[in-house]
Chains A and B, each alone.
Chain A
Amino acid sequence: MMYDFLVDLFGNSTLADIIAGTIQSILPLFVFILPFALFAVYLERKVSAHMQDRLGPMRTGWHGWKQTIADIIKLIQKEDIIATDNDKLLFNLAPIVVFVGSYAAFAAIPFSSYFIGTELDLGIFYIVAVTGLVVAGILMAGWASNNKYSLLGSMRSVAQIISYEIPTILVMLSLVMISGTMSLHTLSEQQTGYAWNWYIFGGPGMTLSKFLLIPSMFIGFLIIYISTLAEVNRTPFDIPEAESELVSGYHTEYSGMKFAMFFLAEYANMFAVSAIVVALFLGGYQSPIGYFGDLIGASWMIPIEQFTWFTIKGLFFVFVQMWLRWTLPRLRVDQLMTTSWKYLIPIAFVNLIIIGLITLL
């Protein structure tokens, strides 16, 4: 594991523990989240542009690849505006809470069999719990801004996240029933081998129940994808930010670095939910076609390959999120609630029961 390696590197002592822990916890931010956010914003612009037959950023660097870097530099330089009527404490705390909430989820996400923040036995549970912080942060932001648009946006957001948490958890629960574990690392390890061992294809093994599970798994996959999409406030579930109605929702009043933190959290969240979907259904960091490192007997290559596979899968689902964003119009509030309470939750529940019965076989 990464952590043990770092502890060894600094000599076994309490100090080494602290240093290793610090590095371990900061590493994903600089190695992964920041570059990912920069890349994802660029990707989003390019994808949206090309889907609308435009070109997107073209001026800064080759095909505008430096655009997001320029943007982040601009954001850092901007004035940090706090209006007189804002609730100062909550206003300043909100972006931090939102960011911490989405960043903490990365602790339990297995990037590869070696690079995993912490090997929690309760990985799934932890992620569900800790991303709950985001809701609190959003509500804080909306309330403290003292702005009707912000407040409306944050209330919508909270209602939406809470409604869609239920189908997400129901699907996660069905996976926990099949696999018998809540650790994302163990879940990924169970799906080793080839693509047909992934849980979307019924999981490992060649038993009858595997084939019976396939339809339920596809349904579960769709449900969790839709509901996680709603949890990160992406179109078609972007009513909390609805630019055309609410300026930009709960972060209307924010500027400069605080706005950047919301932004970063949003993109980090996009990857986090994609990563969870990937870890649950699509084999996590496992390669669908076997490892090149195994083939040539270089076992040190395997974690790198795993990391690559994980990133590719995660990015693919981030791409699908963008794809959906530029395809679908926004749902109305009542439609949003209908989708969750009348469709996703009952189906997820029936699915859960069916999966339970199959696992009893």
Chain B
Amino acid sequence: MKEYFGNIYTALATIFIGMKITFKHMFVPSVTIQYPEVKPQLPERERNRLYVNMDDCIGCDQCSRACPVSCIEIETTKSLPGEDLGKTSNGKKKALWVTNFTIDFAKCCYCQLCVFPCPTECIYMTDVYEFAEWERNKLVYDFATLTPEERQEKRDNLAKFNAEKEAEKLKAASEPKPEIKKDQPEEK
């Protein structure tokens, strides 16, 4: 009998305790963030879309090699002897034209492994994470700053330069050997 009334009392009392708690929560500010209007504060070292500052990129291909999924594609073209490509912000001399630099974000796993090897710290994570696309190939970002014509021009320049060099070499080979002449005085 005692248990019977005890049960009733416990049931009612606990219900009221529960109701009090839920009622209090009605006035607690909600934790929901109204996402597109209000953006959450991202953590300090968040990993999102990459950005490459091409002014500083020396085209060393380190990032591409570090990438575990091979989603960075770099094509470089040697500069001609007379060309000055300027320096990077930490004083390295640029020697290569970066004629192609694409990152496929559909493949990228945001592991940040490409960021650390970069000697000029020009590839880094940004805070952009809203870049969904309807088509997958739109996720291939081209970072190279040269226009397509310029790229072709650089390639052609190099090809021409190489061809000239090749031609010179051939010419040099076909001429009587100058080395022998050179060597002889040294021997004497």
Contact = CB atoms under 8 A, between A and B. Distances in A.
Given A323-B22, A328-B18, A53 B30 contact: yes
A49 B32 CA distance: 10
A55 B32 CA distance: 6
B25 to A, nearest CB: 5
A52 B19 contact: no
Contact of A55 (B12, B18, B34): B34
Given A52-B25, A53-B28, A324 B34 contact: no
Interface string B17-43: 011011101111111101000000000
A139 B18 CA distance: 33
Contacts of B21: 327
Nearest to A329: B18
Given A323-B23, A327-B22, A54 B15 contact: no
Contacts of B173: none
A324 B22 CA distance: 9
B180 interface: no
B7 to A, nearest CB: 8
Contacts of B18: 327-328
Nearest to B32: A55
A88 interface: no
Given A327-B15, A328-B15, A343-B8, A54 B22 contact: no
Contact of A51 (B12, B25, B34): B25
Contacts of A324: 15, 19
Nearest to A48: B22
A323 B34 CA distance: 25
For chain B, the bracket of interface size reads 10 to 19
A327 B19 contact: yes
Nearest to A58: B34
A51 B30 contact: no
Interface string A319-341: 00001101110000000000000
A47 B15 CA distance: 18
Contacts of B29: 53
A50 interface: yes
Nearest to B17: A327
Nearest to B37: A58
A326 B22 CA distance: 7
A52 B23 CA distance: 10
A49 B25 CA distance: 10
Nearest to A59: B34
A54 B26 contact: no
Nearest to A46: B26
Contacts of B23: 51, 323
Nearest to B34: A58
A54 B8 CA distance: 33
A324 B27 CA distance: 17
A347 B12 CA distance: 14
Nearest to A236: B15
Given A55-B30, A55-B32, A58-B34, A50 B25 contact: yes
Nearest to A49: B30
A124 B23 CA distance: 33
Contacts of A49: 30
A218 to B, nearest CB: 11
A323 B19 contact: yes
Nearest to B15: A328
A58 B30 CA distance: 13
A106 B27 CA distance: 34
Most chain A Cβ neighbours within 10 Å, of B22, B28, B29? B22
A47 B26 contact: yes
Nearest to A342: B4
A319 B19 CA distance: 12
A51 B26 contact: yes
Nearest to A320: B19
Nearest to B29: A53
Contacts of A323: 19, 22-23
Contacts of B8: 343, 347
A326 B24 CA distance: 13
Contacts of A55: 30, 32, 34
Given A53-B28, A58-B34, A324-B19, 10 more contacts: A50-B26, A53-B25, A53-B30, A53-B32, A54-B31, A55-B30, A323-B22, A324-B15, A328-B15, A343-B7
Interface of B: 7-8, 12, 15, 18-19, 21-23, 25-32, 34
13 contacts: A50-B25, A51-B23, A52-B25, A53-B25, A54-B31, A55-B30, A55-B34, A323-B23, A324-B15, A324-B19, A327-B15, A327-B19, A343-B7
Interface of A: 47, 49-55, 58, 222, 323-324, 326-328, 343, 347
**Which 8 pairs between the two chains have the least Cβ-Cβ distance?**
A55-B32, A327-B18, A327-B22, A50-B26, A51-B22, A53-B30, A55-B30, A51-B25
